[in-house]
A and B are shown apart, each in its own frame.
Chain A
Amino acid sequence: QQQVKQSPQSLIVQKGGISIINCAYENTAFDYFPWYQQFPGKGPALLIAIRPDVSEKKEGRFTISFNKSAKQFSLHIMDSQPGDSATYFCAASRGNAGNMLTFGGGTRLMVKP
């Protein structure tokens, strides 16, 4: 059972544009929602994370928006750059499950110069 659904699977954005990736979850016990960035041949790198007690978190060009009632959260990449071209994964975990992250299927982002 896929508990975290991610869309779109792939995304092409022009340099300077906004990249938006969406995730929806089913398990209301989830209380930690990170986003990871993965380049080919590398492990996922933590970008930004949010907890359900806030609706938005911003770090540099990356923003997470969180909608608890809709059980959805999204990643916005402002002023997208070619160096942002990578695969992005949303994930979720619940406090008493320690490290057990449930990942979305991933979004392959390509930023065109």
Chain B
Amino acid sequence: KAGVTQTPRYLIKTRGQQVTLSCSPISGHRSVSWYQQTPGQGLQFLFEYFSETQRNKGNFPGRFSGRQFSNSRSEMNVSTLELGDSALYLCASRSSQGINEQFFGPGTRLTVL
């Protein structure tokens, strides 16, 4: 099976812009989570989607949003970008078979100038 894919891999934006990141989970996986990774804050949970519904949300401002489509693909959006949003954004997928194992994609490196 192909792994989790994320596009784009690298992105450069300026403050105030918005950005949309995409994630395709492993085939058959219906749960997708997003994490932000920074040197200062480490890995932090953003939100989780299952069957197009947001199930959990981390402690991030409303500028961070996401959605999931019927094919389980997910997008996350960050509006009004700030310098501090520069990070590696990771997507993880999980089988809905009652197993906790999450499989991460390679991430999207976002740089905000």
Contact with B along A71-83 (1 / 0, CB 8 A): 0000000000000
Q: Identify the stretch in B11-19, B63-71, B79-87, B97-105 within 8 Å (CB) of chain A at 4 or more residues.
A: B97-105
Identity of the chain B residue whose Cβ is nearest the Cβ of A106 in the assembled complex = B42
Q: How large is the interface on B (under 10, 10 to 19, 20 to 34, 35 or more residues)?
A: 20 to 34
Per the bound structure, the CA–CA distance linking A23 and B58 in Å amounts to 22
The secondary-structure label for the interface of chain B is: strand
Q: Are A46 and B45 in contact (CB under 8 A)?
A: no
Known: A98-B50, A99-B92, A106-B42. A46 touches B56 (CB 8 A): no
Known: A32-B100, A98-B50. A43 touches B55 (CB 8 A): no
Q: Are A97 and B42 in contact (CB under 8 A)?
A: no
Asked if A45 lies at the interface with its beta carbon under 8 angstroms from chain B, I say: yes
B residues in contact with A101, CB < 8 Å: 33, 35, 43, 45, 102
A residues near B (Cβ < 8 Å) are 32, 34, 36, 41-46, 49, 89, 91, 93, 97-106
**18 A–B pairs (Cβ distance < 8 Å), ordered by A:** A36-B104, A43-B106, A44-B43, A44-B104, A46-B103, A91-B43, A97-B56, A98-B48, A98-B55, A99-B33, A99-B48, A99-B55, A99-B92, A99-B102, A100-B33, A100-B58, A101-B102, A102-B45
